[in-house]
Amino acid sequence: MFEPKKKNNINRLVVSALLGGWYLSDSGNSIIKVRVTLKNLESDTIEYLNMLCNQAAAYTLDITDFNFINYCTLDKPDFYKTDPLKDNVNFFCITTNVSYKNWQKIKFRIGFNFVSHTKGNNLDFHYSKLLKKENIIWSDTLYLSDFLH
């Protein structure tokens, strides 16, 4: 199984993110669409844990006042695979009440909490590791000022 290599923060699983647009919700919060890609740079398949419905559960943001939207009411952990040299793409919505006129100052990263599938351990064991968010692989910095052009 794959374990991320942490030499100089270089991992063989790469997280990239793209801002995909935004709109105002009925409540007045901004909803930001984000495309997040996990790229496996290994020659082996990578197996990892995430939630079956709420794929954003394994992700985190390095900014306060911004949160992933969870549309799921029922959920359970499951294992996923990304084949060698392939991508796994997810689309998420992030919400914030920060005013649009203050976006020129805002930058953030999206992190993926990598929890490797370990044979012999059950989903409950892995799920507790998912909640701790101890093995984060970060994207490059995203700038909300990109929407202001």
Indicate which CATH number applies to the domain containing 107.
2.60.40.10
Q: Is residue 54 situated within a structural domain? A: yes
Its domain, for residue 100, covers: 13-140
Structural domain tally of the chain?
1
* 116 touches 87 (CB < 8 A): no
Q: Mind listing the pLDDT tens digit for each residue in 80-138? A: 899 999 999 999 999 999 988 888 889 999 999 998 876 666 666 667 777 778 889 99
The answer to whether residue 129 sits within a structural domain is: yes
Q: What is the mean pLDDT of residues 2-9?
A: 39
Higher pLDDT, 79 or 66: 66
> Does the residue 99 lie in any domain?
yes
In a domain, 50, yes or no: yes
Stretch 15-21: mean pLDDT: 92
- pLDDT at position 131: 74
Helix (H, G, I), strand (E, B) or coil at 121: coil
How many other CB atoms are there within 10 angstroms of residue 43's CB atom? 8
**Does some domain include residue 122?**
yes
Nearest one of 46, 89, 51 to 70, comparing CA atoms: 51
- Whether pTM > 0.75 for this model: the answer is yes
DSSP-H helix ranges across the chain: 123-132
Tokens of 88: 């796994």
Stretch among 10-14, 29-33, 36-40 having the lowest mean pLDDT: 10-14
Residue 2 lies in a domain: no
Give the tokens for residue 143.
Answer: 């700038």
Is residue 1 included in any domain, yes or no? no
